[in-house]
Amino acid sequence: MSKIKTIGVVTSGGDAPGMNAAVRAVVRAGIHYGFSILGVRKGYEGLLRGDIVEMSLRSVGDIIHRGGTSLQTARSAEFATAEGVKKAISIAKVFGMDALIVIGGDGSFRGLLDLSKYGLATMGIPGTIDNDIACTEYTIGFDTALNTVQDAIDKIRDTAYSHDRCSVLEVMGRKAGYIALNVGISGGAEAVILPEKEFDIDKDIIKPIMEGRNRGKKHYLVVIAEGVGGAGEVAQYIEEKTDIKSRATILGHIQRGGSPTVYDRVMASRMGAYAVKLLHEGVTNRIIALQKGALVNFDVQEALAMKKTIDKDMIELSKILAM
Ligand code: ATP
């Protein structure tokens, strides 16, 4: 069993809807197991500054339905240095922190690995709208972001229909195309352009639009992942080649906000409580992951070495259904 008495919890990297639900689960499950819980504000930056508060059952009341992160988040260049990690360890000691649970992405988990080398017990919970963490099929915030994008697509479709237009929508995802691929299918896009797959603008965008027009289509949707970019240029090219009026929309940070979906709240609650349960059992330095519907955990180093692949059948499906 565990010698850990005090657990810190921090949200790091980009914010994602559901992070609050995960913090709430860590605090409440932690207190249930008899741990003291410290909230680290503003990511690793807050750890370096000792911006740390004692958490109680009540301090996580009224946050499960909120987007963003009530602990706030930050990116810290200082923490990513050898000196920064040593400083963070000394601050953790001052506060009596035996373990740290971080809710964030790969960059945050690299930081965890550095901290674990100095004996701090660590746990990582995948939290990013991009779903780009290799060891897990799901990251907290992904479902909410998909629903936000889908809502935007439905609105854009109304205006594209009214004007017989082509809409070119650029969605987030950093270097990964999971958001683009999923909303491409759920939004019925004529073309989906992903960073994981090389594309030819004439073959992959112009051709399906022209074929669709020949079959009687009058409005069109092209989804482009942030990792490819260039929605404005693509819209211009479509207009030049086809004479179809085209408009680009870059959705931006609206995709990161909003009240988390039920799926994100439940997944975040499960992952948060599972991370604490593992620490209670004396298991440390793991990343929580979802595999085939079940929660599992991987060694941090092993998790960071994994490579994520995009589902080729989903890409094929998006093409078949775009006819
Ligand atoms: P997201 O996917 O939302 O961007 P992330 O956790 O990958 O989340 P990053 O900005 O990459 O976001 O990382 C968050 C913080 O983790 C950084 O500001 C930095 O302090 C720390 N970090 C990132 N990379 C490393 C690294 N290689 N070694 C140590 N610490 C790191």
pLDDT digits (tens, 9 = 90+) for 119-129: 999 999 999 99
Q: Quick one: pLDDT at residue 226?
A: 97
How far does residue 201's CA lie from ligand 1's centre (Å)?
A: 34
To test the pocket of ligand 1, the residue of 10, 11, 12 to mutate (highest count of ligand atoms within 8 Å of its CB) is 12
pLDDT digits (tens, 9 = 90+) for 157-191: 999 999 999 999 999 999 999 999 999 999 999 99
Q: What is the mean pLDDT of residues 192-210?
A: 96
**Structure-block tokens of residue 91:** 């601050």
Residues 23 and 135 in one domain: yes
List beta partners, residue 100. Answer: 8, 122
Residues 280 and 163 in one domain: no
> Is 14 touching ligand 1 by the criterion CB < 6 Å?
yes
> Is residue 318 domain-resident?
no
Q: What is the mean pLDDT of residues 294-308?
A: 97
* Residue 23 per-residue DSSP state: H
pLDDT-based confidence at residue 2 (cuts at 50, 70, 90)? confident
| CATH assignment at residue 90 | 3.40.50.450
Residues 173 and 94 in one domain: no
List beta partners, residue 102. Answer: 10, 124
Of the listed ranges 230-239, 297-306, 307-316, the one predicted with least confidence: 307-316
pLDDT digits (tens, 9 = 90+) for 132-166: 999 999 999 999 999 999 999 999 999 999 999 99
| CATH assignment at residue 231 | 3.40.50.460
- What gap in Å lies between CA 271 and CA 288, rounded to an integer? 7
pLDDT digits (tens, 9 = 90+) for 82-104: 999 999 999 999 999 999 999 99
Pairing of strands 191-193, 220-225: parallel
pLDDT-based confidence at residue 38 (cuts at 50, 70, 90)? very high
Residues 104 and 29 in one domain: yes
- What gap in Å lies between CA 19 and CA 27, rounded to an integer? 12
> Is residue 12 domain-resident?
yes
Residues 179 and 35 in one domain: no
Residues 250 and 106 in one domain: no
Catalytic machinery residues = 130
- On average, the pLDDT of the chain sits at 97
The helix/strand/coil state of 197 is coil
Which of 257, 285, 313 is the last residue before a domain boundary?
A: 257
Domain extent, residue 20, equals 6-141+260-305
Judge whether residue 113 has pLDDT over 90.
yes
Residues 79 and 169 in one domain: no
Q: Hey, whose CA ends up nearest to atom 27 of ligand 1?
A: 110
How far does residue 106's CA lie from ligand 1's centre (Å)?
A: 6
Judge whether residue 1 has pLDDT over 80.
no
Q: Quick one: pLDDT at residue 129?
A: 98
> Is 142 touching ligand 1 by the criterion CB < 6 Å?
no
Residues 271 and 135 in one domain: yes
Residues 68 and 97 in one domain: yes
**Per the confidence metrics, is the pTM higher than 0.85?**
yes
**Total count of domains within the chain:** 2
pLDDT digits (tens, 9 = 90+) for 67-87: 999 999 999 999 999 999 999
User: To 10 degrees, the CA torsion angle through 249, 253, 257, 262?
Assistant: 60
Residues 135 and 158 in one domain: no
Residues 47 and 62 in one domain: yes
List Cα–Cα distances, 276 to 106, 189, 296, in angstroms. 20, 41, 13
Residues 39 and 23 in one domain: yes
